[in-house]
Amino acid sequence: MVTALEVPADELIKELAKILKEQYGEYVKPPAWAYYAKTGVHKEKPPEDPDWWYVRAASILRKLYKSPEPIGIETFRTIYGGRQNRGSAPEHFRKGSGSIPRKILQQLEKAGLVKKVPRKGRTLTPAGRSLLDKAAKEIFKRLVETRPELKIYG
């Protein structure tokens, strides 16, 4: 069986973002401020993609799938951080926003895809793991159609 780790990450995240928007739209939706907010102090502008909230949610789901242990908000801040341009001074790493992953994880909890582990962080539920595996299976089917030599792996 194909897992979410065996398909290209960019295709998996696009597919998951589409699924989150269409099937889980009542739970996972950007707040009003999301279109104007930067994703961290190291960014100069807000994201240009209007569906960036769903892409970030899909990326968070994939990170939770990859991790054997629960992941907390501070870890997600580090993952989505970056180098801040300080003009003529040397660049330094800055953590990303904490509000964005917190709100996304709360929404994913309401959708039943993520559960909270007290004092450790959050992890995927069986429903969340199943969602990622189903999306990976669909992507693999499309890949096999374009490249028949991959059929031996399915």
CA triple 139-143-149, angle to 5 deg: 145
SS3 (DSSP) at 112: coil
1 part of a folded domain: no
| Amino acid letter, 90 | P
Instruction: Kindly give, in sequence order, each residue whose CB lies less than 8 Å from that of residue 134, ignoring residues fewer than 6 positions away.
Output: none
Residue 70: name the closest of 109, 116, 108, 113 by CA: 116
pLDDT at 152: 75
124 part of a folded domain: yes
pLDDT at 97: 96
Instruction: Kindly give, in sequence order, each residue whose CB lies less than 8 Å from that of residue 146, ignoring residues fewer than 6 positions away.
Output: none
In tens, the pLDDT along 109-148 reads: 999 999 999 999 999 999 999 999 999 999 999 988 888 7
CA triple 80-82-85, angle to 5 deg: 150
2 part of a folded domain: no
Which range of residues forms the domain containing residue 86?
9-153
The residue written with tokens 């290209």 in the block is 8
DSSP letter at 120?
T
Q: CATH number for the domain including 140?
A: 1.10.10.10
Q: List the beta strands (DSSP E) in the chain.
A: 82-86, 89-94, 114-117, 121-124
| pLDDT confidence bin for 58, thresholds 50/70/90 | very high
Q: For the chain, what is the domain count?
A: 1
pLDDT at 154: 63
148 part of a folded domain: yes
Alpha carbon distance 141, 6 (integer Å): 12
4 part of a folded domain: no
135 part of a folded domain: yes
In tens, the pLDDT along 33-49 reads: 999 999 999 999 999 99
Helices 126-146 and 52-66 meet at what angle, rounded to 10? 100
